[in-house]
Structure 1
Amino acid sequence: MSTLKSSLEGKIAAVTGGASGIGLASVKGMLGAGAQVVVIDRDESALARVRDEFGDQVTTLAIDLLDTKCCSSLVPRILEEVGHIDIFHANAGLYLGGDLVEASSEAIDRMLHLNVNVVMKNVRDVLPHMIERKGGDILVTSSLAAHYPTPWEPVYASSKWAINCFVQVVRRQNFKHGIRVGSISPGPVRTNLVSDWPEDKLREAIDSGSLIDPKEIGDTILFMLTRPPQVTIRDVVLMPTNFDL
C-alpha cells in the first residue's frame, strides 16, 4: 500500500455536510487515505448514495444541524457509532449573496446560525473528547471571503470572517493538548452553493474557468492532515488561477 493510501490508516473522521460538494470531496480524500469516515448530512437521499458507493467504509448520520437538539446530539451519536474521533471536519454551511437590503431576516438568521453558531457548538462539543485523548485534528471550511470583503456577499463573507477568527483563537487555546485546528479557505468551488450567486457573476466565473473542482479541496485537506504532528497548517487559501481576471 502506498504512503498516500495508508496515511490515515486506522483514523476515524467525521464530516458535517459530507454528502455533497466540499464535504463529499473531503470524505473521498480521507477514505482514499485509509480512514473510516462518519458522514453527517440532513439530506437522506444523498447519504443513501454515499452508502451505496462506499459501503462499510462509511457510517452515515442523518442530522439537521439547524435543529438545536439534533445539533447537541451530534458528538454523542458519532461516539456511539464509532467509539472515538481522530478528525472532525466542520464543513456544513449555507450561502447567501446579493445586496444586504434584499436579504430577509429569516435568511440571515438561518445562514449565520449554521455557518457560525453550529460550527462553534460542534467544535466545542468535540474538544473535550480530543483533550481526553490528548490529540486530534479539527478542520473548518472557511472561504476566500474570509480574507476579502466581497461586495456581492456581505452576510456570507461576514460569517466566514467570524469563523476565521474563531479557528485561530481555538487553535491557540488547544495546541497544548496536541490538537491541531485549521481552516481551508477556497475561492469559488463548483458546488450547489454557487447556484445562488448573481446570474452575471456565476456566468462570468463559468466562462472564465474561475471555479475550483471539489477534488482540489479534498486533496488539500489530505495534505493538511498528513503533516507531521509538530506542523499545523492553520489556514490554506485556495483559489482558481483565473479568479482575479
Structure 2
Amino acid sequence: MTKEFEGKVAVVTGAASGIGLASSAMMLAEGARVVLVDRNEAALQAICSQYGDTAIPLVVDLLDPRDCATLVPRVLETTGRIDILHANAGTYVGGDLVDADTHAIDRMLNLNVNVVMKNVHDVLPHMIQRRTGDIIITSSLAAHYPTPWEPVYASSKWAINCFVQTVRRQVFKHGLRVGSISPGPVISALLADWPPEKLKEAKESGSLLEASEVADVVRFMLTRPRGMTIRDVVMLPTNFDL
C-alpha cells in the first residue's frame, strides 16, 4: 500500500518534543523524509536514531538570526527539495501582563512571529519555482479568542493568524497551500507556565489534547486534493470551557 507522503521531503521546526515530534513521527510513518529542526541536539539525535536515514536531524537556534537564515539552504543542500514546511516552533508566556518579564516577551514574539515569517519567507522562492508546496503553521485557539490569562501569547497567535491568511492569498496562484492549525491546550512543555491548579483541573476534566491528535489533523490537511486548501482548523477538547 502506498504511503501518503512517499517521496516527499518535510521540514518540521520545534521537532524534538510536543506537536513537532508528533507531526514528524506521523510524516515519517507515511513515508516522508523528515528534517527535524530543533536546538536540542541530544534530543534530535536520540529521536532520529529510532527512524534511520529517513529522519534527518538539523540543529538550528532559530532565535539566532544568522543561524535561522541557514535553515532552508542547509535542508536543500541535504535533500534537494522541500515539499512540506511545518513551522511549529514556539514558546509561551502566560499570566497577567503586569507580571511578565519583558525579555521573555521579546523572546516569545521573536520565536512565535518573526521566526515563522522568516522561515516561510526563505522557503517560498523554492516552492514557487517548483509550483508546489504545503506550509502548515502551528497557531492556537488563542488566535481566535481573547484569552484573558495569556495576553502576550494570544497576541502572537493573532498575528500569525493574519500572516497565514494574507500569505495564502499571495501564493495560491503558484500552486502553494498555506494553512494553520489552532489547537486548544495540548499536553506539552508549553503548559509549564500554567498555574498548577489550572493544569490539574484541566487534566482531571479531560480538557487537554494529545500531540498525536494534532498530528492526525495535520495529516488530514496535507492529504486533501491539491485544489483544496484547509485554511485553518480549530480543534479543542469537547470538555474545554472557554
**TM-score, normalising length from structure 2?**
0.98
SS state of the match for residue 51, structure 2? Answer: helix
Give the superposition deviation at 1:49. Answer: 1.5
Partner in structure 2 of residue 234 of structure 1: 231
Segments of 5+ residues of structure 2 without an aligned counterpart are: none
Give the Cα separation in 1 of the matches to 2:24 and 2:73.
Answer: 20
Partner in structure 1 of residue 144 of structure 2: 147
Give the one of 133, 136, 140 matched to 2:133. 136
Give the Cα separation in 1 of the matches to 2:24 and 2:229.
Answer: 20
Give the Cα separation in 2 of the matches to 1:175 and 1:51.
Answer: 33
Give the Cα separation in 1 of the matches to 2:229 and 2:201.
Answer: 35
Give the Cα separation in 2 of the matches to 1:129 and 1:14.
Answer: 13
Give the superposition deviation at 1:157. Answer: 0.3
Partner in structure 1 of residue 82 of structure 2: 85
Identity rate of aligned residues, in percent? 67
1:202 equivalenced with 2:199 (yes/no): yes
Give the superposition deviation at 1:105. Answer: 1.0
Q: Is the 8 A contact 1:187 1:211 kept in 2?
A: yes
1:74 equivalenced with 2:63 (yes/no): no
Give the Cα separation in 2 of the matches to 1:160 and 1:109.
Answer: 14
Spell out structure 1 runs of 4+ moving beyond 4 A: none
Larger displacement relative to structure 2 (129-138 or 48-57): 48-57
Give the superposition deviation at 1:172. Answer: 0.3
Give the length in aligned residue pairs. Answer: 242
Partner in structure 2 of residue 44 of structure 1: 41
5 Å matches for 1:91-240?
Answer: 91-240=88-237
SS state of the match for residue 241, structure 1? Answer: coil
Give the Cα separation in 2 of the matches to 1:99 and 1:81.
Answer: 44
Give the superposition deviation at 1:7. Answer: 1.1
Name the aligned partner's letter for residue 224 of structure 2: R
Segments of 5+ residues of structure 1 without an aligned counterpart are: none
Partner in structure 1 of residue 28 of structure 2: 31
Q: Is the 8 A contact 1:97 1:198 kept in 2?
A: no
CA RMSD of aligned residues (A): 0.9
